[in-house]
Amino acid sequence: MRIVAVCGSYHKEEVEKMLEFARDEASMMNSELTDVVWVPGSMEAPLALERLLLREDVDGAITLGIIERGETQHGLVMGQSVTRAIIDLQIKHDKPIGLGIIGPGAEPEHIEPRLEPHARAAVGAVVSMKN
């Protein structure tokens, strides 16, 4: 299975770790992460996914990122909007997308322990939905 990744660069160091876990998981599941596209943050992920899912050589995608808790409801609104857009893209393209976004509302101490499980689960979800 050929999987592409869209990664939010706002927390680039942590997301790079997630990407390594995702690559490892894909390899263990006889799949391959073929392309990685970096975007500024989660808000830009749906557009990058849309562009990638149009390609015939893409079987599925994952999106990796982190939405931290802020002082306002911005992160919650962002998380809900991005998730809805990702669900719509799956249906539109009939290709699975693994959601590997930590948050919204992640506290700094919650991020590190969630990097590996979120990345691996995103890949696992895509592979399990293979037609």
Catalytic residue among 74, 93, 110, 118: 74
Q: Note the pLDDT tens digit of each residue in 8-59.
A: 999 999 999 999 999 999 999 999 999 999 999 889 999 999 999 999 999 9
Q: What is the pLDDT of residues 65-89, one digit of tens each?
A: 999 887 777 788 888 999 999 999 9
CA separation for the pair 71, 32 (Å, rounded): 39
In order, the DSSP letters of 22-71 are HHHHHHHTT-EEEEEEEESSGGGHHHHHHHHHTSTT--EEEEEEEEE--S
How are the residues of the chain apportioned to helix, strand and coil, as percentages rounded to the nearest 5?
A: 55, 25, 20
Query: What band does 131 get if pLDDT is binned at 50, 70 and 90?
Result: low
CA distance 127 to 131: 9
Annotated active-site residue 74? The verdict is yes
